[in-house]
Chains A and B, each alone.
Chain A
Amino acid sequence: MIRRLKHYVALHAQNLFGALGRVARQPIGSLMTIIVIAIALALPAGLRVLLNNAQILSGSWDGAIDFTVYLNLDVDAARAEQLTRDVQAREDITQAVFISRSDALAEFREYSGFGEALDALDENPLPHALVVRPASGDKADVEALAGALELMPETNFVQLDTAWVERLSRMLTLAKRVVDIATILLALAVVLIIGNTIRLEINNRREEIQVVKLVGGSDGFIRRPFLYLGFCYGLAGSVVAALTVALGLSLVASPTRALAQVYGSDFSLAGLTGPQILLLLGSGALLGWMGAGVAAARHLKAIEPS
């Protein structure tokens, strides 16, 4: 039993090193194959990383669905501050910030660029307002809270802007679906690329395959070196793909940080995590194995000694 196991391990190690030797013996051809595989793997991997980052970003917005309660123009500052304290006392509210009409005007003057237009007006057109942060992130809870605040006699209207958050999340779902489809297609491409490479290799070694069949080599024995060759191509391709994605991320990391800073965010790009790298390498090797398996199943049968 142990003897058979040892033999089995030795046989597979031999096949693995044989395959590596074959890859090394034709460096240019092998490198081209590996680069094509790497591109096909790096595309979905890179898209996935971007998607991850978009999700992290949208996630940081999801939790903060602040909304604004605009009060009637005839509500004075003292009443508005009292109201802020009342609202603040509610259990379903984390925080309520009072923005007086003069603060609002100053802010508007500074950021809108309509400062001169405002000067033409006799009086401040802006009302007092409360910026409310709900305790719950749940959409229904937020809408219920907004409804309740709308019913206060001092409220003019409540501006609840969750729609864009929802739009963004829908867009991300769509993008994820597109990336999924691209992943499947490119995985198929990797299987075909490796299948074709292995097909050529099988043709080149036609004579050897015939001899091995003549001296009693089983189908498994004949198939094994080709499966290992496919495995090596897939694994090498995914290593290059992982390096490509890492390189690409490092190139856009600093512009992204600069962009985030302009928006007052400390967001920085997340790269490939350990498990993701393992997944990439694993799927590359598996796809290579599969491609070789398909080619071997289709072409080895046809080669019989004559």
Chain B
Amino acid sequence: MIRFENVYKRYPNGRAALASVSFRLERGEMAFLTGPSGSGKSTLLKLIALIERPSRGTVLVGNQNTSRVQHRRVPHFRRRLGVVFQDNKLLSDRTVFDNVALPLVIAALRRREIGRRVRAALDQVGLLGYEKHSPVALSSGEQQRVGIARAIASRPELVIADEPTGNLDPELSKEILGLFERFNEVGVTILIATHDVGLIEEHQHKRLRLDGGKVVPEHLE
């Protein structure tokens, strides 16, 4: 589903974020991307979402070489991807329903279909009945669940998450991870970046540890 081959990323200011990163994530896999802050986790996710482009090397997402995606095709590329952010990036002037519906409206689905899918997504994150609420009226855990509902509403095959539990206490974090595992069980490929090693200790998923812009062998546990 995701393949990195000798990927280098150097920002215009000269900072090298990734150096020769190679890894694969198979379809249907779930993996954690770990490492201290500044190790390049966010950069790696940005390369997958085409927010950044690699300086060298190849990034394949769903067998598509991202460097061949033209600028004007980037929106279409992103529609096949669900993205969850640490700060959830919800629009505070719209209802929960409109937030979750946004990718579906963009994808030009029929109104009835949008309603159906939004409710299905909210049901999966346990927020059915919150459609009319404003995101600011929700707790941070609930806001993050709305963000996840938005990421899965268009039924992507791949979901990437950048520190999705960064702002949550351990109890809520576990809940959120449980949600991702449920999606993974129905076949969604999932890559979660987190610095919270304690949280993922009990999970048996693949781990990619980044340090200093390189993938280092995992031998802590």
Contacts and interface: CB of A to CB of B under 8 A. Distances in A.
B51 A212 contact: no
A217 B111 contact: no
A3 B110 contact: yes
Interface in B94-112: 102-103, 106-108, 110-111
A216 B72 contact: no
B124 to A, nearest CB: 18
Interface in B36-65: 49, 51
Contact of B103 (A3, A10, A216, A305): A216
Contacts of A215: 78-79, 83, 102-103, 106, 150
A213 interface: yes
A11 B110 CA distance: 11
Contacts of B76: 216, 218
A214 B110 contact: no
Contacts of A305: 51
A219 B108 CA distance: 14
Nearest to B89: A211
A7 B102 contact: no
Interface string A198-217: 00000000011011111111
Contact of B91 (A4, A7, A208, A218): A208
Nearest to B111: A10
B178 interface: no
How big is the B interface, by class? 20 to 34
Contact of B106 (A4, A216, A304, A306): A216
Given A10-B111, A219-B72, A306-B51, A214 B106 contact: no
B75 interface: yes
Contact of A212 (B81, B102, B107): B102
B30 to A, nearest CB: 22
A214 B83 contact: yes
B79 A216 contact: yes
Contacts of B75: 213, 216-219, 221
Question: Which of A7, A11, A215, A216 is packed against the most chain B CB atoms within 10 Å?
Answer: A215
Given A7-B108, A7-B110, A221-B106, A211 B91 contact: yes
Given A304-B51, A305-B51, A216 B89 contact: no
Nearest to B90: A211
Contacts of A217: 75, 102, 106
Interface in A1-49: 3-4, 7, 10-11
Contacts of B110: 3, 7
A4 to B, nearest CB: 8
Nearest to B77: A216
Given A207-B89, A217-B75, A304-B51, 5 more contacts: A208-B91, A210-B89, A212-B106, A215-B106, A221-B75
25 contacts: A4-B108, A7-B108, A11-B108, A208-B93, A210-B89, A211-B89, A211-B102, A212-B102, A212-B106, A213-B75, A213-B78, A214-B51, A214-B78, A214-B83, A214-B89, A215-B79, A215-B102, A215-B103, A216-B75, A216-B76, A216-B77, A216-B78, A217-B75, A221-B75, A306-B51
